[in-house]
Structure 1
Amino acid sequence: MLLLGFCLGLAVGVGFWIWQQVQLDRYLERVLKPLNSHSSKVILPLIPHLRQEIALVKQQRQDLQQSLETYQQLLDVAPLGYLQVDEENQLLWCNQQAREILYLERWQPGQVRLLLELVRSYELDRLIEQTRDCQQPRVKEWVFHPSCENATAMLETKSLAIRASSFPLHNGQVGVFLENRQPLLDMNQVRDRSFSDLAHELRTPLTSIRLVVETLQNRLEPPLNRWVNRLMQEVDRLINLVQGWLDLTQMETDPSIQLHPEAMEVRSLIASVWETLEPLAQRQHLNLNYSGPESFWIKADRSRMYQVFLNLLDNSIKYSPPCTTIQVQAKILSVKDTHKSNPTSALLEINIVDSGVGFSETDLPHVFERFYRGDKARTRDSLQESNSTTTIVGSGLGLAIVKQIVLAHGGLIKAMNHPETGGAWIQVQLPEVMANTSSQDYS
């Protein structure tokens, strides 16, 4: 009986195992059957191919991970700072330069913390939000004031001028490159201070040289006095250059120290400037055409505004072809003013347009920079033969001084090329308009 029960159990077990194998074979046939429904063979060669594909994907993943680590190592030694935040403005990663620029001593690699907890900079936070909202790269400059835990560290910590370039990434992330511009600004300040010291030292010997030249002018007869006259022109040019540099440096340091505002009528001032320059204009048969209000007043420094129009009209004369007209167009603009009790305020706009060759596209962004010399196409032989000593001829400081004077008055200045004449177009906007009358055109 015992043997019979064992055999019966063994037969049942073998039968159940055979049934399981049959069910497993049917399942594999359904899963691995080929795309062709007419074939019922199991495609066993697919299994090695799948293993090869899986191995290839693993290798590609390892290569991508290695490339990512390589890029992170490159960014970590890059001269620019770089940081990356997620969609919630949590700092995911930053390189060594970013940690130094933003004083991120509390952040350690691998940490994920809110950027605002580590860096108290509204400008940086706002830049990231704007980049994420518009999904466009953006650039912003500001002065970063690091936050310190104690007063002693605050005295030792220096503010930095930063330029940030941001760009959107996937899943709401944003990457930001940071450039510390403070060393460049410090170097420019040292350069300007050195030039100013040198200019101060040059004024005394140049004045002495001019006195000697004046003495020689009275003692020499033609044709020898021709060389002395030429020497006098060059000495005056150097004196004007030195004085122009000193004025420009002082205005950039403290714009208000040079201003003595008073009520002044602008149209008569422009007429006075043209009378001074008219002998130069007559050599090329140039005319001045004014259009705008017959009388309008602004509150400004008369001598400084005279210097502005003297430089601008002198440049127009230099670069205008013979027998052409220089246009001066003035008009009063009404603009909304949200910072004053008066909801609207008057703005004076003056456009000076010549018919010369204009500015080249490469020169336009730099025309107001000191010592910038533009396209040689704007250089005329008449510039070298000019006998005018009332302006800074060819020094590269004229437009830079004009810009500083306009900015000191709270105005704006812009350089363009006029679409009709093709010549230079300088637009000056000044606030504090006091009165104006009806418009009138006259020459």
Structure 2
Amino acid sequence: MKKFIQNIKNIWKVEELRKRLVITLSLILVYRIGCYIVLPGVDSSKLTSDLSESAGTFEGLLGLLSGGGFTNASFLALGIMPYISASIIMQLLGMAVPAVQKMQSEGESGRKKINNYTRILTIIICAVQAPTYIGAYVGSKGAIPAELMSSPIWWVQSVMVLVGGAMFAVWLGERITDKGVGNGISLLITVGILARFPQAVFAEAIDKESPAIPILLEIVCFMAIVLATVLIVQGVRKVPMNYAKRVASGRAEAGDQSARSYLPIKVNASGVMPIIFAQAIMAVPVMVFDASTFGIFGFWYNLVLAVLIVVFTYFYTAIMINPKKMADDMKRSGGFIPGIRPGEETANYIDALVSRITLPGSIFLALIAVLPAVAYMAGVGQAFALFFGGTSLLIMVGVVLDTLQQIETYLLNRHYDGLMEGTKIRGRRTAGEVSGF
């Protein structure tokens, strides 16, 4: 505890880090307040904002990811998800459209162009989702007076407010990324999920006749799942690398072998994206079929979801990792894998290795995705069961680790002890580990 307090003091001593943390917390507070500013004319009391009542439905899942903005009918109801959908579409277009591929290869200028197109696509997606959200969700619950439902001016106004709210959320996330600590878009989602956690635990406690022992066991199981998720998310296969002799000052010099070099390949290279892909597709049958037949805790929903996640994990890993490019970069820098010829043979070796690693990674993601249903079948309440896996758990673990790593970097650069000293968290890169391939 004493060391933890000292680490907090060290964080506060670093002026740049202190300013970034203050900016991050301030912008997160603005976002959280915005989740409770209701659309004009909407009676939010008629909406189901209680997570324990809506947890077993798809709207409960969307409410969890939006921090309650979706179920509160706030102007931030659409949240960050349209921007994430637009980003995914742009990534897919980068595989098939030569013009997008060209922008991706143009460096910083290309990245700015892609960001601008992503924002435009986000506005289009919001313009489609906003009327559907108002009519199919808010209006169906009787939260909108009849005179407003028949008013074209009110509809146009509300759609514009929702689109503006989604773009405001994107702006907040980008400001956190540029001026604060961590990935702003991911942080906003994570904070929204964490904001619902106390409510879920409280609902679980009051629903138990003798809550102490069951709640304790559930929390222990939850912590064990979080620990396993951290280990897999941080899991890396280290491929040993050597460097050929280099010529300097007219004589040959051997590459520096004082610290062994490694090419790190993550077990879970695709991150949370396969689950997001799969859940986006599963939204269609959930809305078409009855909840008792195809609910988010049902057998068929989770079986199809698990299969889709395995497929999308291989698909997204193929997008993220290019063995040929990695092999070319290694050859250009004079690096090689012992026993493997540089060039095509190295590319084939890396491709085979990635394929073997992706299988257990995809199975793990599928298990994480269906764990909420398993927890619910084991007797955990619907609200608390949503935290036992799925997108919410992976996002929380990934974002928290990424944020801690950034804070760790600031502390180590200022010659302070890091937050993760003595641990195996990937915030401390070993001397021989190389990246960027």
Give the TM-score, by structure 2 length.
Answer: 0.21
Relative contact order: is structure 1 or structure 2 higher (C-alpha 8 Å, sep ≥ 6)?
2
Q: Would you tell me which structure has more strand in proportion to its own residues?
A: 1
Give the number of the structure whose alpha-carbon radius of gyration is greater: 1
Give the TM-score, by structure 1 length.
Answer: 0.20
Q: Would you tell me which structure has more helix in proportion to its own residues?
A: 2
